[in-house]
Structure 1
Amino acid sequence: MSLAAATERTAPRRTGAEGPAVNDTAAVAPTRPGATPRSARRNPAGVVLGVLALALPVLVYLSRLARLGHWLVDDALISFGYARTLSEGGGFAQQPGAAAVEGFSNPTWTLLLAGLRLLGVFDRGHRLAGVEDTVLVVRALAVVAFVLTLLAIRATARSVLGGPRRTATATLVAGLALALSPAYVIWTGSGLENPLYGLLAAALAALLGTARARGRLFALRTATLAGLLALGLAATRPDGLVFAAAHPLTLLVVAVGAAPRGRGRLRSALRRALPPGAFGVAAFALPAGALLLARHATFGLWVPNTAVAKSQGGLDLGVPARAAGLVSAAGLPLVLLAALSTAVLLVARTRAARPVTQSAATATAAAPLLVCAALGGAGFAVLRPDWMPEYRFATPATVLGSALLGVLAVGAGVAVASPVSGRESPAPRGARWPGRRGPATAVVLAVVAALLAGAAVADDARRLDAFARTPTISGCFVADRYGRLFDLYADRLGVRTGTLVVPDIGGVLLVSRLRVVDLAGLTDRVIARDRGRGDTAAVAEQVFGVVRPTFLHLHRPWDAGLRSDPRLRRDYRAIVPGQDYVRRDVASAAAVAALRPTAVRRVAALVAERRARPLSGCGPWVVDPPPAER
């Protein structure tokens, strides 16, 4: 018995577009997108369950999101800086007047933020109830994306499970798993592109699942929409490219399941899946190719500059280990719950006396979700390990894995409980849990599932609390420590215009009037090339021999090759020993000595404040003019 098999009714069957045996009622979908079946409209309990399935996860998500306070990760503020420059007519540059470098890997997110800034609602220095407009807008986008993601999960669950109560229950389970997931909450609230990325992945699974249930999977319209959604995913994050395979792979799985058994089964399936699959690939590849040419014409690279800096290459031996890391992202209790649900379904299937064609047809019901979830995991596994905690690259896998958990849990519940009343009829003979001990087994399984769910909630809360105590580098800390503080240095030393080389730049871009050079290389083409090659001597030459910055900040690991370079001592004076430097020909020894006590105190105060209040805000994100112009 498959996922859909556990929920099928004993009803007349017909031949459908996706296979030889399709149940008229097993995957009931409304004739109008978003419509509610009549049975649900007549059943108050069903309506309440449907509302609860959406409302409760949203409330839980809001409460978890509030746990992050004003925190935004500094990497997100790099996109904010590009959005600001773009909205002001400065092109794709980190600051006005800077060279065009693709120092971001999320074009659709950056364009969305630039559009919101043009509308006057984002990054305008406003505050509401003490909260910066940047924080308010990205949190609002996260909530909207979460609601839309839930709706997509509901559509996917309906395509697999059928009836409204099963759909609502699966949506509730998936929604709660997602709303409680630290990996999802943290990174969708971080200011990065994760909420949009997860939404597009859920939308693709919903599109393919609904199309399969309605007999439209092989239609050219479905191929076009799937190709465009895959394009959106690839333009939101480079690893989203893997979703270009979702439509053709789903076609192949469904076609194989529907083809008659025999020697020519695979050939027949390929012949059927190839035309719409090729059309869908073309719908993705043609605009993707145009965007690739535009990237090369604008930036001179075929990949984002960030990929060059991180030397992101092809597959390596670490891919299987990183794929296994998804267990940690989901949390062991939820993985065990999914495994338990799968085991229940497999046992029920082995005891089910069902025609082969019926098994083949229902086996394809979950194919779109399974394919998309597998691709989401693959997209995470192919990337090099990320130094930030809580799996920020696993958002599609988290979203689709939560949807799969909801479907598995409800399918297993139906297989064990085999309800005998209500509008959703019981599973057919052979699909119920076998033996006279079925009720006792159901109770034991329910208790185990409840214990695992409780353990998952506790584990998720622990992980989120741990992150909130020591969050990944805050954009506010970067703005205060490397942006406003270096502007203070410039004011005290009489520097009206200057250059700052620093490895953390997001907050700096939004508050500093100094020209910023990214020591990590994300927004600097030359340093990115040298970082990608691992050539620290070339990085030092670029910094000391070419850029010759007015100000320089060093910390590990980005100081490799720079501290040992004799030009650091020869050409620079230390403002904060071992950290902050100014070029000797800019400031006298007496001026630096007079500034040093203030600088050391300010650095210590900023570090202490951030440790005490790691989630606090830092005022409006605006660039203050030099003192003479204030």
Structure 2
Amino acid sequence: MSPRARPWAWLLLIVPLVVWQVVMWAQYTIDDAGITFAYIDTWLHGGGLAFRPGEPPVEAYSNALWLFVLTPFAGLGFDLVVVSKILGVLSGLVAAWGLFGVARSVPEARPWTAVLAPLALWGAPLYGFWVVSGLENGLFSMLLVLMTWRALIDARWPGARWTSQLPSAALQCALVMTRPDGILYVGAVQLWLLALAARAPAVIAGAPSAPARRMKLRRWTQRAALAAGLYLIYFAARYAYFGQILPNSFAAKGPGQNGGVRLFDFGAQGWAYVFDGFHAYAVAAPLVIAIALALAWRPARRVAILALILLFAGLLFPIVAGGDWMFEWRMLSFSWPLVALLLALGAGAAVGLGGRLVARLPRLPERVRTLAPPILGGLVTLVTVLHFRGPWIARADERAEKVNITITDLAHRSDFYAYVSELAGVHTPRVADEDAGGMTWKRQVGYLDLGKLGDLSLARHYPETYGHLRDYVFHEDRPDLIHLHGAWYDYKLQDMVEWRELYAPVLAAHTKRFDHVFADNVIAVAPFVVVGPGAVVPEAKGWDGPDPVAGGRQVALSGAELAVVVADLHHQPGQGQAPLTWELVGRTANHGRLPDQLRLLPCDQLGAVPADAPEDDEAPEEGAPAEGAPARDERPADPPGPEVDTPAPAAAPAPASAPAP
């Protein structure tokens, strides 16, 4: 079989590109894929559609169809990381096949120019990176290409019965279920088909079987109604379960979170995102030239107009949403099949227009006229490949140096949380973090999603009021550990008084033990209550578990100044939990006898005294501050910086009954 005899054999040219992309990116599974995996795991274990069992249902994912596709494989025991990559690559291959078919459907199209569409698709690192990431990009691109191909078929012949509209309706519904912004592409296709139907002649003389305007409009109505009906069935079930019109991720990342809609402000963040992506891939000028050539060449004009309309519709989402923080232009990858198709149409138009020009030249041998199209096609293909080769390889090399946050990265951070929690004696820590996927999938931690995807309250109130943020994080949820980095410093949690009153920094000696705990993080552990013979007012002086003195806390306890430290913290995590006590290393007893050992309680028991605590006949009344303790509205001293050690207090001889440290 030869490419000349079997045009589809040209698709074999993309095999090296597919292998290159898979080998380069297979080791990375992006953190956001873990959100989908966590929901699937919770769902299969009877916890419903939520991050963790027992949590209320919140639609933190935006790829419902992808979740439904992966769930049966997880139920059968397959590894979701592997399955998601295999299905992503297979979907991407179907998308490449569909692009070649669309480009080949143009009259007078040549296979050696049509193959540029799948080559431009799989040759771009932004496409391969996201298809292999574990996310829904491959499925979305496949459905988008198939919907485009089917729309071209419907435009030529809408079918004789209403049932012939089911394939188009199913593809359109599936696209919106894969990502809600798929409605932009579906709306663009429907408007394009409606315009064609409205422009059709009422009757066609001499062709009684040709579809007239009324029939085309009827078929369009049936197609739109079927697509809407299929989606409304899903929407009704989804709304009944979550009570939301859009996924919570759209509230968390909507235009209101980025300064509002700025559609016509070409200097806005969304436009900059699109321009930067096109510039990085050196595609802006070739794309403009390709569009102009395709529109000038009559055989390709209809396909080019549809692809151009779809591209503009798809770019509306990153423009309005303000782009995305992730590397490698994830939001552009959804529209990249349309960019690849337009480049191939432009190449085909260049060959077609050039061939016609050559044919008009007088006195040319017939052999030259015959060889002109393939020679022109080869030159156009060669120029295109040489133009993109350098920038696209550079993009791949740059991305290989630094990828987005992956599930593996978050596993390291989770290990850090487990380490700190064990040192602090917190057996079931609640963590406030911004990276949801890797923190919730297969991790036994409570989770407050500062990224807002899985939290209705944060998604709907921020950034309207910082007062709600303060009350919600510090007083209502009260996590044991808080992690801030990057854009989440904008929450200003670190500037609020509760940050210093209720939390203490974990020093760098611990954060540097683990990968992906950034140097600029602020990670805090909630203070613990020292239970003694009266009211307790802890003052944070820094927390560094294994250091027996510098890591202690200074506490005021019923008129006594104590320097206390956590004992027996030198064991490594995983070697068992030793009893955690605070040893008395110094005191000034002017208020009766103090206990030799002070107990450590979790932060949610602030102010509580256990039943077995020593009694104190002279304890102050309930609600009154302890004698010698700071008033309630006084602000404790700020904790030292991460690299500053607290000077060790002079240790008084411990009482005879005190255990050895």
Smaller-chain TM-score range? 0.7 to 0.9
| Higher RCO (C-alpha 8 Å, min separation 6) | 1
Does structure 1 conserve the Cα–Cα contact (< 8 Å) formed by 2:26 and 2:132? no
Which residue in the other structure is 2:71 paired with? 114
Distance 1:115 1:595, change over 3 A: farther
**Match for residue 197 of structure 1 among 104, 126, 140:** 140
**How many Å apart are 1:550 and its aligned residue?**
1.6
**Match for residue 567 of structure 1 among 490, 498, 501:** 498
Which residue in the other structure is 1:149 paired with? 95
Does structure 2 conserve the Cα–Cα contact (< 8 Å) formed by 1:169 and 1:406? no
Which residue in the other structure is 1:477 paired with? 409
Aligned length: 516
**How many Å apart are 1:241 and its aligned residue?**
0.9
**How many Å apart are 1:315 and its aligned residue?**
4.9
Which residue in the other structure is 1:499 paired with? 430
- 1:58 partnered with 2:15: yes
Distance 1:368 1:596, change over 3 A: farther
Distance 1:292 1:65, change over 3 A: same
- 1:461 partnered with 2:396: no
**Match for residue 530 of structure 1 among 438, 453, 461:** 461
Distance 2:141 2:78 in 1: 23
**How many Å apart are 1:175 and its aligned residue?**
1.1
**How many Å apart are 1:474 and its aligned residue?**
2.4
Residues 457-486 of structure 1 deviation map (CA, whole Å, 9 limit, x = unaligned): 2111111111111112222212212x1111
- 1:183 partnered with 2:129: no
Query: Counterpart of 2:471 in structure 1: which amino acid?
Result: E
- 1:309 partnered with 2:252: yes
Distance 1:344 1:512 in 2: 54
- 1:280 partnered with 2:237: no
Query: Counterpart of 1:144 in structure 2: which amino acid?
Result: L
Which residue in the other structure is 1:265 paired with? none
Does structure 2 conserve the Cα–Cα contact (< 8 Å) formed by 1:502 and 1:552? yes
Does structure 2 conserve the Cα–Cα contact (< 8 Å) formed by 1:226 and 1:247? no
**Match for residue 540 of structure 1 among 449, 470, 491:** 470
Task: Give the gaps of 5 or more residues in structure 1.
Answer: 1-42, 124-133, 262-267, 350-358, 419-430, 601-623
Distance 1:534 1:190, change over 3 A: farther
Distance 1:219 1:182, change over 3 A: farther
Alignment of 1:369-384 (within 5 A): 369-384=307-322
Distance 1:586 1:271 in 2: 78
- 1:76 partnered with 2:54: no
TM-score (norm 2): 0.70
Distance 1:329 1:432, change over 3 A: farther
- 1:402 partnered with 2:345: no
Q: Alignment partner of 1:553: what SS?
A: strand
Query: Counterpart of 2:4 in structure 1: which amino acid?
Result: G
Distance 1:448 1:370, change over 3 A: closer
Distance 1:445 1:300, change over 3 A: closer
RMSD: 3.6
Distance 1:206 1:328, change over 3 A: farther
**How many Å apart are 1:219 and its aligned residue?**
5.4
**How many Å apart are 1:211 and its aligned residue?**
4.0
Distance 2:447 2:350 in 1: 56
Higher helix fraction (1 or 2): 1
**How many Å apart are 1:541 and its aligned residue?**
1.5
Distance 2:282 2:359 in 1: 24
**Match for residue 191 of structure 2 among 242, 249, 257:** 249
- 1:515 partnered with 2:446: yes
Does structure 2 conserve the Cα–Cα contact (< 8 Å) formed by 1:484 and 1:512? no
**Match for residue 593 of structure 1 among 521, 534, 544:** 544
Q: Alignment partner of 2:4: what SS?
A: helix
- 1:137 partnered with 2:111: no
**How many Å apart are 1:306 and its aligned residue?**
0.9
Query: Counterpart of 2:66 in structure 1: which amino acid?
Result: W
- 1:392 partnered with 2:360: no
Which residue in the other structure is 2:556 paired with? none
Taking every aligned residue pair, what percent have the same amino acid on both sides?
25
Distance 2:105 2:400 in 1: 38
Which residue in the other structure is 2:634 paired with? none
Distance 1:380 1:162, change over 3 A: farther
**How many Å apart are 1:378 and its aligned residue?**
3.9
**How many Å apart are 1:525 and its aligned residue?**
0.9
Query: Counterpart of 1:285 in structure 2: which amino acid?
Result: A
Query: Counterpart of 2:406 in structure 1: which amino acid?
Result: S
Query: Counterpart of 1:526 in structure 2: which amino acid?
Result: S
**How many Å apart are 1:558 and its aligned residue?**
1.6
Distance 2:494 2:541 in 1: 23
**How many Å apart are 1:487 and its aligned residue?**
1.2
**How many Å apart are 1:375 and its aligned residue?**
3.3
Task: Give the gaps of 5 or more residues in structure 2.
Answer: 204-210, 509-520, 531-537, 552-572, 579-661
Distance 1:625 1:82 in 2: 28
Residues 297-323 of structure 1 deviation map (CA, whole Å, 9 limit, x = unaligned): 222221111111123468533576756
Residues 271-313 of structure 1 deviation map (CA, whole Å, 9 limit, x = unaligned): 5543222222211222323333333322222111111112346
Distance 1:229 1:627 in 2: 55
Which residue in the other structure is 1:558 paired with? 488
Larger Rg: 2
Q: Alignment partner of 2:504: what SS?
A: strand
**How many Å apart are 1:106 and its aligned residue?**
0.8
Does structure 1 conserve the Cα–Cα contact (< 8 Å) formed by 2:347 and 2:380? no
Q: Alignment partner of 1:593: what SS?
A: coil
Distance 1:218 1:535 in 2: 57
- 1:46 partnered with 2:4: yes
Does structure 1 conserve the Cα–Cα contact (< 8 Å) formed by 2:295 and 2:301? no
Distance 1:561 1:344 in 2: 52
**How many Å apart are 1:371 and its aligned residue?**
4.4
Distance 1:596 1:192 in 2: 43
**Match for residue 105 of structure 1 among 29, 44, 62:** 62
Distance 2:108 2:529 in 1: 72
